[in-house]
C-alpha cells in the first residue's frame, strides 16, 4: 500500500488516543482500496493504492510513521507491504487483531441521505473562530446556525454561549 501524502502527520490526529483499541489505528480495506481512521467522533475514508498481495486489516500508526521516514530518507513514495504483518523493507510490525467499526456502512448511511443544506467552509477560519469564542481559547465545541448555502452562518461557542461569531461560506464549484 502506498501511503497517502502526509499520512504520518494527519492520521494520528484522527485515531483515538484512549483505551478503545479498535480505533487507535487506521484500517485498510484492501478490496475497496480505502484506508479508514476514526476516533468515534470523526471518520476519514481515504483512497489508497494497494498491491495484489495487500490484505485488509489494521495498519499501525507506528508502521505509517516508520514508512514515511524511510520514504523521505530515500526520496521515494512511502510504502507498506500489508499482509500478515506490516513490512517496510526488512522491518516488520505486528498487525493488531481487533474489530474495526463498520465504517463503510456508516459512510453510506450518511451519503445516501439527501442533505438539507450543502455548505463549503474554510476549516482553518472556522477553527480560529471557534477558538476565539471559547472560554479557554480552544476550539472544543460550537453550534452552527445555517440558514442557507450562501448565507452567513452564526457560530455559538458551546462553553461560552454568549460568545458568538459569523463565518461566510466559501464558493465551491465542485459540489
CATH architecture of 7-111: Roll (3.10)
For 143-167, the pLDDT digits (tens) are: 999 998 889 999 999 998 999 999 9
Residue 23 has what pLDDT?
96
Q: Please tell me the distance from the alpha carbon of residue 140 to that of residue 123, in angstroms, as a whole number.
A: 14
Placement of cell 450543502 in the chain: 118
Q: Are 79 and 71 in contact (CB under 8 A)?
A: yes
What is the value of pTM for the model shown?
A: 0.83
Helix (H/G/I), strand (E/B), else coil: 155: strand
Helix (H) or strand (E) holding 132: helix 123-133
For 7-33, the pLDDT digits (tens) are: 999 999 999 998 899 999 999 999 999
For 111-135, the pLDDT digits (tens) are: 888 888 889 999 999 999 999 999 8
The length of the chain is 175
Signed CA dihedral, 57, 62, 63, 64: sign only = positive
Domain ranges of the chain: 7-111, 123-167
Residue 171 has what pLDDT?
85
For 47-90, the pLDDT digits (tens) are: 999 999 999 999 999 999 999 999 999 999 999 999 999 999 99
Residue 116 has what pLDDT?
81
Amino acid at each position: 500500500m502506498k501511503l497517502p501524502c502526509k499520512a504520518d502527520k494527519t492520521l494520528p490526529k484522527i485515531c483515538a488516543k484512549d483505551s478503545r483499541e479498535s480505533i487507535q489505528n487506521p484500517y485498510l480495506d484492501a478490496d475497496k482500496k480505502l484506508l479508514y481512521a476514526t476516533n468515534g467522533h470523526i471518520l476519514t475514508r481515504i483512497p489508497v493504492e494497494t498491491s495484489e498481495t495487500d490484505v485488509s486489516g489494521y495498519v499501525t500508526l507506528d508502521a505509517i510513521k516508520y514508512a514515511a521516514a524511510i520514504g523521505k530518507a530515500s526520496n521515494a513514495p512511502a510504502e507498506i507491504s500489508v499482509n500478515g504483518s506490516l513490512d517496510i523493507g526488512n522491518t516488520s510490525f505486528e498487525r493488531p487483531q481487533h474489530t474495526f467499526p463498520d465504517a463503510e456502512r456508516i459512510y453510506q448511511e450518511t451519503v445516501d441521505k439527501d442533505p438539507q443544506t450543502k455548505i463549503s467552509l474554510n476549516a482553518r477560519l472556522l477553527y480560529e473562530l471557534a477558538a476565539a469564542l471559547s472560554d479557554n481559547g480552544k476550539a472544543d465545541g460550537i453550534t452552527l446556525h445555517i440558514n442557507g448555502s450562501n448565507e452567513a452562518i452564526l457560530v455559538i461557542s458551546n462553553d461560552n454561549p454568549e460568545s458568538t461569531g459569523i463565518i461566510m461560506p466559501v464558493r465551491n464549484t465542485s459540489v
